[in-house]
Amino acid sequence: MPVKGEAGCRKDFDDKRIKSGQQTSLKRLLVLGAVLLATLGFFLRKRFALETAQSYALCSTNGKQIHLVDEQNSQVECLVVRGAYIQDVGDLADIQQRWTYNKEKALPVYHAKPGSIIVPGMSDSHAHILEYGASRIIPLEQGQTIKEVVKSVRDYIVSDPDINNNKSKLVQGWGWDHTVWPEGRWPNADDLDADPVIHGRPVILQSKDGHAIWVSRATLNDNGPYPEHVEGGLFIDNAQDLIHKPEATDTDLNGLFSITVRDALASGLTSIHDAALAPESLAFFKRKAEEGTLPIRIYGMTYFNESGEYWGDSILPLINAGNGRLHCRSVKMFADGALRTGGAALYEPYTDNPTTNGVMRMPPEMINKVIPRFLQDGWQVNVHAIGDRANGIVLDAFEKALSGVDVPTLRPRLEHAQLLTEADMKRVGKLGVIASVQPTHVIDDMWYAEERLGPERVKRLYAFRSLVDNKAKITLGSDAPVEGINPLAGFYAAITRLSKDGTSPRGPDGWFPEQRLTRQEALRGMTIDPAYASFTESTLGSLVPGKRADFVILSQDIMSVAVDKILETRVVATVLDGRPVYGSFL
Ligand SMILES: *[C@@H]1O[C@H](CO)[C@@H](O)[C@H](O)[C@H]1NC(C)=O
Ligand SMILES: *[C@@H]1O[C@H](CO)[C@@H](O)[C@H](O)[C@H]1NC(C)=O
Ligand SMILES: [Zn+2]
């Protein structure tokens, strides 16, 4: 099938033309009506007819509970949906006055349950789509000890006859977290092979942060030879390449993807920015988009391997494939490592390990060479930068590359933007760079961050309020599967800076509460801001007539409910292109 993106855009304009045509004819009618008011009064009640089968109005029950997330943060009572688009918004009486379905029939009006609210479809600005699916196959992250993790692998094998009955079938999982185990050691192959069900089977288990793999004896025997220091079944960072993983089949990819789609739609997400697409994953999503079977919007960042070749001039950015569902016009590169593992590049040494400042994964010369090239070749450049030094070096490169160009046509992003100097927070705002931040990381990292960075420097970590006050553009994400995929968990973390049980290392007001976002900022950070960060703000991100009808009904008002109730919010329905794809409002 041909790529239908262009058609999608044209339809958008057609809708507007239809509407303005109708407005012109209304004006004529009004003039006529004024002249013949006494006798032809019924003309005044003439309404616009919507003839698309999927036209309907959806209204809130207790007043104006639809958050448009337009420039004024308006709230209205009703939306009119025509096919895949928002046709109109307003009060119920106005809507009923303005619209009919066919000439005679009233437009169907659905009423959301009392207490619920409607917001634009939510977007995750930074997640790893297929990796999230992989992390859900075996619930490894729930294991509080090595034994519990091994038991979850055993339970998984026993639950699936295809695997249970075939001892040579590879068992793969993702998500174990040794930092929560009491054992205080890395796991090894014998931990797996001690279990009689697992014994002798090939098993590959990826750690939660993606930096280590843990394998069984059979997998060890199938690979190798190994250098002396990497025996025992545990491979960290580059040593992971010593274990060969079979290429995923289409069936495997479909399996992983459907898990992510299921959880994403059930959480109110209608769009995900994939923060490092492998070529195979992009090809898979592209096939789905072209078949017209992509069930969620994807904004892809193609991974740039700093040890590989430059490809920005040999591959074309992909814009608007699959009727607006798939875009891949950005590149993702990694400037440094992570704070938890001490890999984030800092100006000053780590407070808890003064022998190191962390490491740049890409040297500054390479950053300065590659960023302008990608920008010139038409790619949005999204750089993983965690430490203040990494962020500073990337901002230097952005600043040079952006001088004299129209920044909104390029919109470069700092992925994570965790620790910045005061001067760099100002610079992010001044340059128009987007800070793509993950609020759930705040409430994970707050427990160890001060020890690692010291009492002064830590104030600049996850300083969301300072970024916004410096006029930085922000956008919110989860980094799933490193964190959960639920966007409301990010909303809660951004506005409270408290763990789920209401605590923080700095007391019940939150961890550096002066850095909290407002609810309105957090809502924008999950809707219109990700749309801007993915060049889709003209069709997505707010419920403005002419845009795609992507919206979510939430069981309660997250904009006013007590903060300790926010995480009880349920998604009643998720609507994509005008149709419910999770739950129902009918
Ligand atoms: C068992 O699994 C292996 C590896 O996936 C496969 O090659 C083999 O055909 C399977 N055997 C049976 C009997 O299904
Ligand atoms: C990056 O490229 C190098 C050199 O071509 C290769 O050895 C390595 O496996 C690649 N890494 C990834 C994650 O693709
Ligand atoms: Zn990530």
For the record, the structure tokens of 41 come out as 């009064």
CA of 127 to the centre of ligand 3 (A): 6
Domains of the chain listed by start with CATH number? 55-121+541-585 (2.30.40.10), 131-242 (3.10.310.70)
For the record, the structure tokens of 233 come out as 């079944």
* Cα angle: 465, vertex 468, 472; to 5 degrees: 140
Q: Whose CA is nearest to atom 3 of ligand 2?
A: 307
Number of neighbours of residue 223 by Cβ within 10 angstroms: 15
H-state helical runs in 292-352: none
As a whole number of angstroms, the distance between CA 50 and CA 56 comes to: 9
Select from 162, 165, 166 the residue to mutate for testing ligand 1; criterion: most ligand atoms less than 8 Å from CB: 166
Q: Whose CA is nearest to atom 9 of ligand 2?
A: 241
Which atom of ligand 2 lies at the shortest distance from residue 307's CA?
A: 2
Question: Model confidence over 451-481: pLDDT tens digits?
Answer: 999 999 999 999 999 999 999 999 999 999 9
Tell me the one-letter amino acid at 123. Answer: S
For the record, the structure tokens of 281 come out as 């994953």
CB hemisphere CA count around 532 (13 angstroms): 24
Is the Cβ atom of 169 under 6 angstroms away from ligand 1? yes
pLDDT of residue 342: 86
For the record, the structure tokens of 245 come out as 């993983």
For the record, the structure tokens of 324 come out as 């607006």
List C-alpha distances in Å: 6 to 55, 300, 323, 541, 544.
23, 19, 8, 20, 21
As a whole number of angstroms, the distance between CA 17 and CA 87 comes to: 12
Kindly calculate the radius of gyration of the chain based on its CA atoms and give it in whole angstroms.
26
Are 50 and 81 a contacting pair, CB within 8 Å? no
Residue 227 exposed, middle or buried by CB count within 10 Å (0-12, 13-18, 19+): exposed
Are 548 and 539 a contacting pair, CB within 8 Å? yes
CA of 169 to the centre of ligand 1 (A): 6
Chain center to CA of 526 = 8
Question: Model confidence over 387-444: pLDDT tens digits?
Answer: 999 999 999 999 999 988 889 999 999 999 999 999 999 999 999 999 999 999 999 9
Is the Cβ atom of 166 under 6 angstroms away from ligand 1? yes
Are 95 and 107 a contacting pair, CB within 8 Å? yes
Sign of the Cα torsion 473, 561, 567, 257 reads: negative
pLDDT of residue 38: 39
Which atom of ligand 1 lies at the shortest distance from residue 162's CA?
A: 14
CA of 129 to the centre of ligand 2 (A): 21
Residue 577 exposed, middle or buried by CB count within 10 Å (0-12, 13-18, 19+): buried
Spatial CA neighbour of 479 closest among 390, 525, 413, 416: 416
As a whole number of angstroms, the distance between CA 400 and CA 354 comes to: 32
pLDDT of residue 100: 82
Which atom of ligand 2 lies at the shortest distance from residue 278's CA?
A: 14
As a whole number of angstroms, the distance between CA 59 and CA 347 comes to: 53
Is the Cβ atom of 579 under 6 angstroms away from ligand 1? no
Q: Whose CA is nearest to atom 13 of ligand 2?
A: 305
pLDDT of residue 51: 62
Counting ligands in written order, which one lies closest to the CA of residue 338? Answer: 3
pLDDT beneath 50: ranges in the chain: 1-23, 31, 33, 35-46
Q: Model-level pTM?
A: 0.88
Residues with CB under 6 A from ligand 2: 241, 305, 307-308
